[in-house]
Chain A
Amino acid sequence: MLGPHTIPEDDRVLDRYIGMILRTGMLVSAVIILFGGILFLARQGANAPNFKQFHGEPRQLTSVRLVVGGVIHGEALPIIQFGLLLLIATPISRVIFAVAAFAWERDYLYVAISLAVLLVLLYSLFGFKSS
């Protein structure tokens, strides 16, 4: 049978911080998306959308650097896209937090496992450019 030492009590503290990170990230990005959305609809709400044909988004909305550039210029769609990026980054930040927390607990096996997950996530975001 398992002894009481196998029950990971420390994870409870970890859990609470992770929950807080996820909720904050979700709320902040929702507010940014809402703000960008209102801006977009106020400026271009009367135009007709064309979503029936897939044409791929322009570079301004697929490159992290160009999205940030658009946000600085106050453009509506890049602001929404920035909020979406932040939303995608929220679970990534929780993996980064887990790497740090496992390191602090000296659980090096799980530092390595969390780092592997982090690498896969970073590869998906930055690993290949749109063709």
Chain B
Amino acid sequence: MNFLEFSIIVGVASLLAGFLGSLTGLGGGVVVVPLLALAFGVDIHYAIGASLVSVIATSSGSAAAYLREGFSNIRIGMFLEIATTTGAIFGAFLATNTPTKAIAVIFGLMLLASAITSSVRLKERVTDKPVDPLAKSLRLNGAYPVDGVKTPYTVRRVPLGFGLMFGAGTLSGLLGIGSGAVKVLAMDEAMQVPFKVSTTTSNFMIGVTAAASAGVYLSRGYIDPAIAMPVTLGVLAGSLIGARFLVRAKVKVMRLIFAAVIALLGLEMIYSGFTGRL
């Protein structure tokens, strides 16, 4: 296979990954790494570097649409980014010192976890934890539109959310993914931010978090332009097309199919990690 064939095949596969990722809300980056590593035999460090850049591209591309809806909370986002970016640098350091086999197994476990969480729909929590006084002094509380009426909300358990965000950042830096699922979990479950606010704010934070680890990957020589080029352009184009289809598609069925694909890839990654095929 020469560079031209490699670019075309990887580009088309990435386009499909980006398309499905944006339709199902699971993100395209999640399947790009196992795809490159398992199907093309690309070293997992290069695969993660390419995936990171594509994550930044899709996050930046969809941010404008999210922001227009007026749900995201820029103060919550910025405050938690202190945790996610330091976590991301920590994760990127871990990646440089972790053997490929171990990364493959961790990646596989993460894929299985996201396949399971994506098939279980989170319900809006009835807020039962006390309002965190920290939320008031940090001015994290905000308001968002419900049926056109601005409804105020309050934020709980700020330190727990902050700690979970450090973990989300570490995962992102170690595996080259957006880890939007962990971010949403930290904001929904721990801080009890309304679902719409947490989803949009998390998308917003993903780009900044990935930029922190991408910096480390770049200076360490983990980002190869010949791999990152077809991956980034493919995932970006796919996610932009996916965003236009979002309203019409039967998302429920697609989510299930995509979750099954992710689960299979996860098992394959774990198997390859243990047998040392990667």
Contact = CB atoms under 8 A, between A and B. Distances in A.
Given A57-B223, A87-B56, A109-B139, A125 B3 contact: no
Interface of A: 1-2, 6-8, 11-12, 14-16, 18-20, 22-23, 25-26, 29-30, 33-34, 36-37, 40-41, 44-49, 51-54, 56-58, 61-63, 77-78, 80-81, 84-85, 87-92, 94-95, 98, 107, 109-110, 113-114, 116-117, 120-121, 123-126, 128-131
Contacts of B57: 26, 29-30, 87
A110 to B, nearest CB: 6
Given A7-B152, A51-B43, A88 B214 contact: yes
Interface stretch (B19-27, B79-87, B245-253, B264-272): B79-87
Nearest to B138: A109
A109 B68 CA distance: 26
Given A18-B67, A37-B233, A110 B212 contact: no
Contact of A23 (B56, B64, B226): B64
A88 B143 contact: no
Contacts, number: 220
Most buried by B among A33, A44, A128: A33
B202 interface: no
Given A45-B3, A87-B57, A125-B215, A117 B208 contact: yes
B60 A90 contact: yes
A57 B142 CA distance: 45
Interface in B227-247: 227-230, 232-233, 236
A120 B60 contact: no
A113 B225 contact: no
Interface in B201-223: 207-208, 210-216, 218-223
10 contacts: A6-B143, A6-B152, A11-B74, A33-B232, A49-B6, A81-B225, A87-B232, A88-B53, A91-B210, A124-B213
A113 B223 CA distance: 29
Contacts of A78: 225
A19 B221 contact: no
